[in-house]
Homo-oligomer: A and B are copies of this chain.
C-alpha cells in the first residue's frame, strides 16, 4: 500500500474535530451509521405500541406489495429485501410468531415455503404505513429538496460501489 498523502482541502465537510487520523475522512461513513442506528431506534419506538419493528414492517410491505395474494417464497423475499437467506428466514419466523404471516409448503415443489400475510398482518401494515409516513415527514420537513436529491445521489452511488466492492473481494455469492 504505497500511499501518497492525499490533499486535504478537498472539501470543507470535514471542518471541525479533525486533529486525528480517523475523524474527518470517515465522517460520512459514521454519519450514515449513526443515522441508521438512530432511525431504527426511533421507528421501533414509534411502532412498538403496534407490536412491530421497522424491519418487520418493511418485510410485510414487500410481501403485500409484490404478491398480494400469491404467496411469496422466502428466497424471493430475500432477493427483494436484498438480505441473506438466513436473515430472511429468521425475519419470517418472527413475523409468523407474531401472527402476521403464515407459511405453507408449496404443493408442486416441496423445497418452497410460501409466505402469506394474514389479515392481522394487513391491518397492522396499514397503520404502520401511516406511522412511518408521518415520522418520515417530520424527519425530512424543511430540508432543501436539492440537498435531498444530492444526498440521494451520494447514497445511491455509495450503495452501488459498496455492492461492487463486496462482490469483488468476497465471493460469497449469496
In the docked arrangement, what's the CA distance between A165 and B4, Å?
13
Contact between B134 and A3 (Cβ–Cβ < 8 Å)?
yes
Contact between A28 and B148 (Cβ–Cβ < 8 Å)?
yes
Contact between B162 and A13 (Cβ–Cβ < 8 Å)?
no
Taking the closest CB of chain B, its distance from the CB of A137, in whole angstroms, is 7
Supposing A13-B148, A13-B149 touch, asked if A169 and B46 sit within 8 A by C-beta, the answer is yes
Determine which of B35, B61, B82, B161 lies in contact with A22 in the assembled complex, contact meaning CB atoms within 8 Å: B61
Contact between B158 and A28 (Cβ–Cβ < 8 Å)?
no
A1 lies within 8 A of chain B by Cβ: yes
Bin the interface of chain A by size.
35 or more
Chain A interface, >50% SS class: helix
In the docked arrangement, what's the CA distance between A161 and B1, Å?
10
A119 lies within 8 A of chain B by Cβ: no
Number of copies: 2
Determine which of B25, B46, B151, B162 lies in contact with A133 in the assembled complex, contact meaning CB atoms within 8 Å: B25
Contacting B at CB under 8 A, from A1-53, are: 1, 3-4, 6-7, 10-14, 20-23, 25-42, 45-46
8 A-B residue pairs with CB within 8 Å? A6-B160, A10-B152, A13-B152, A13-B153, A21-B129, A22-B129, A31-B159, A41-B170
- Interface residues, chain A, with chain B CB atoms under 8 Å away: 1, 3-4, 6-7, 10-14, 20-23, 25-42, 45-46, 58, 61, 65, 82, 129-140, 143-166, 168-170
